[in-house]
Structures are given as structure tokens and as C-alpha cells.
Amino acid sequence: MNITDFLFESVYQIVTWVCIASTITAIFYFLDKENYRGVVWSAVGLACSIAVMAGMIAVRHVPRTKIATITGPEPRAYIHVEPGPINHFDVGFRPSITVKIRNSGPATAYEVVSDVSLGILPYPFPADYPFPEVAQTHKGVSTLEPGAEGVGDGQFDLPLTKELAEVVLDGSKLRLYVGGTISYRNAAGPRCKKRFLMNVGGPDFVAALQAYKTQGFSNLVWQYADRYNDVNKECE
């Protein structure tokens, strides 16, 4: 009991006892005067004072239910994936890509593992198309502190042919896709994973390739596929 509660209860008891004593005195006074109406009202006042005192004693002695403290969810990591420019998109070479993996959450991501793949798939992405098979490269990043970045790498299985390069640059039926899975563990809880799938192709891709080759940088804008882009919710 803190000092405020103690003072409040003390004053309340003093006032209640004074009321009880006053009503008892009033009862005897009105009896002596044979004023039975006054006796009745004094008895009512006495009963009310006793009820208040009994309630105070009950509140003090009856155990109070402990109210559980409401807390928010545990802080967790959130993985964000950002593909970089395409390297070696030339006939006879195996195109490759480096993907930035950033932890944008307030907690550390542990045991981060990236499996990244680069390939050519239909565009628009079919609704019934399965998630592209990803080579299990298991590039480990170990841990990512909040705001920190790591990388994952993906590469074509075979050298790029002229026919495939032409259809990707056209971009109307086939495009270049980068996809994969980033798995990680929060400080408390199971492992989580994030799948991602993005594509480039068409005139914007042509302009980005030219800028990368002539100016050394790329304004390549990846488009998210309609499926397989998780938001850090899938946990085992």
C-alpha cells in the first residue's frame, strides 16, 4: 500500500467511525425524546455507516486478482531483398546477379542463408506456374544486425544464346527473372523464410543495359511477380 492509499483509507475510516458514533448517539437522543421518526432515520444512518465500514474491511482482506501486463510482440527481423544490375548479359556468357539482403527490422537476424537463381520464364507470370527451382547454393551471411546488409549471388546454368537474348530484350513473352529464398532465425522462435521473384525485360531493360555498359551504372527497375513474394511471415 502506498502513502496515498494509506492516507485515503485512514481518513475514510475516521469519518466512517465518527458517523457510526454519531448515529448511535442520535438513536439514544431521539429515544429519550420519544421521537421515533428520528430513531428510524438514525438507525438507517447507522446501517449505512456499518455497510461502508464492512465494505472497506472486505476490500482490504479479500485477495485482489492480479492483472496481467499487456505487452506487444517480440521485436523481430524483417528481410528486404534488392536485386542489383545484371552482369555479363551477352551471348556466350553466363549472366549473373548479386542481390542485396537487408535487415530492415528492429532485431538481429541469425543464421541467414540465401539461395538465389537467375533464369528466363514466361511473361506475364502464369498464375498456375510453380515456384522456380532454385539451386541450393546456400550462401551464408551468418548474422545481420538491424540495418545491416549482406549479399546473395545467382547465375545462369548455361551460356546465353542469341535466341534467348532476343526474346528477353523484346520482353513481350519471356523475361529475365531473379528469384530465391532467404531463410533466417530470430532470437526467439522458429526459422523464417522469405521467397522473392522479380523480372526485367523489354525496352526498359535494353536502356538499362546500355547505361550500365557505357556509364558504369544502371537504372534497372525490377518488377515484382504476381506470386511468390513473401512478407517475412512464413515460419516453420
**Strand, coil or helix: what is 84?**
strand
Per domain, the residue ranges of the chain are: 3-61, 79-235
Mean confidence (pLDDT) of the chain: 82
- pLDDT tens-place string over residues 11-61: 767 877 777 788 888 788 878 777 878 778 878 877 887 887 777 676 665
The pTM for the full model equals 0.64
For residue 68, the model assigns a pLDDT of 44
Distance CA 24, CA 145 (A): 74
Inter-residue contact 108 to 77 (CB < 8 Å): yes
Contact residues for 115 (Cβ-Cβ < 8 A; gap 6+): 134, 135, 136, 137, 138, 139, 152, 180, 181, 182
**Strand, coil or helix: what is 128?**
coil
For residue 203, the 8-state DSSP code is H
For residue 27, the model assigns a pLDDT of 80
Q: Which residues of 78-87 are buried (b: 16+ CB within 10 A; e: fewer)?
A: bbebebebbb
5: pLDDT strictly greater than 70: no
117, 177, 114: which is closest to 151 by C-alpha? 114
64, 69, 25: which is closest to 45 by C-alpha? 25
Mean pLDDT computed over 108-130: 90
Q: Which residues of 202-232 are buried (b: 16+ CB within 10 A; e: fewer)?
A: beebeebbeebeeeeebebebbebeebeeeb
Inter-residue contact 56 to 16 (CB < 8 Å): yes
Strands (E), 62-173: 79-87, 96-103, 109-122, 139-144, 149-155
Domain 79-235 fold is Immunoglobulin-like (2.60.40)
Beta bridge partners of 176: 120, 200
